[in-house]
Amino acid sequence: MDGQIKKLAKQAMAARGHAYCPYSSHPVGVAIVSQSGKVYAGANVEIAHYKGVCAEASAISAMITAGERHIRAVVVAGPSMEYLCTPCGDCRQRLREFCAPDVRIYSLWKDGSLGAVHTMADLLPLSFGPENLQEVGALPKTQPKAGAAATGGKQKKERVKNTPEKQNKKNKKDVSPGSLRRRNPRPS
């Protein structure tokens, strides 16, 4: 491991030491380095209703709270010497939101030694990301501009032919209590 990854490994292991996992006894710590070079650490937090927070989500939240949006590297410190801890499916998708496909994710053994290195593309192939959606905050191209400001102070009225309200009036049936009685009463 190079110097920066060793430093991240120490921070991920320190975060793992602060994990709150009384139900699974599976402490995980994560350290991510942002585009600016700042490191954000996170630990998993479990609560009684089982909707806990993964270490990756915790670290990403810290990064977002600090105003950053891009991840350069991720180090995951798991609790075992028998199996490597990689991000779960939810966290892979969370990481994908802020990682380029070539960002490396380092998985550590319990003792801090390097177990594996994967890229984001390795862990989440054929992924779905922000580029699959329209630009955030953009109005759909088919939606007209609204309000007086969009028309230079002149409000233009548009006639709408078939609104749901008009359709309901057209198809409205009489549901008054009298109309709910049988139309053809039984013969006596």
Name which of 115, 107, 119 is nearest 71 in CA terms.
Answer: 119
Distances 45 to 56, 127, 130, 145, 175 between C-alpha atoms, Å: 11, 27, 27, 45, 54
Q: Is 56 a catalytic residue?
A: yes
Name which of 61, 3, 52, 53 is nearest 32 in CA terms.
Answer: 61
Backbone CA torsion sign across 81, 83, 87, 88 = negative
180's CB contacts (< 8 A; 6+ apart) are none
Q: Catalytic one among 46, 56, 68, 82?
A: 56
Residues with catalytic function: 56
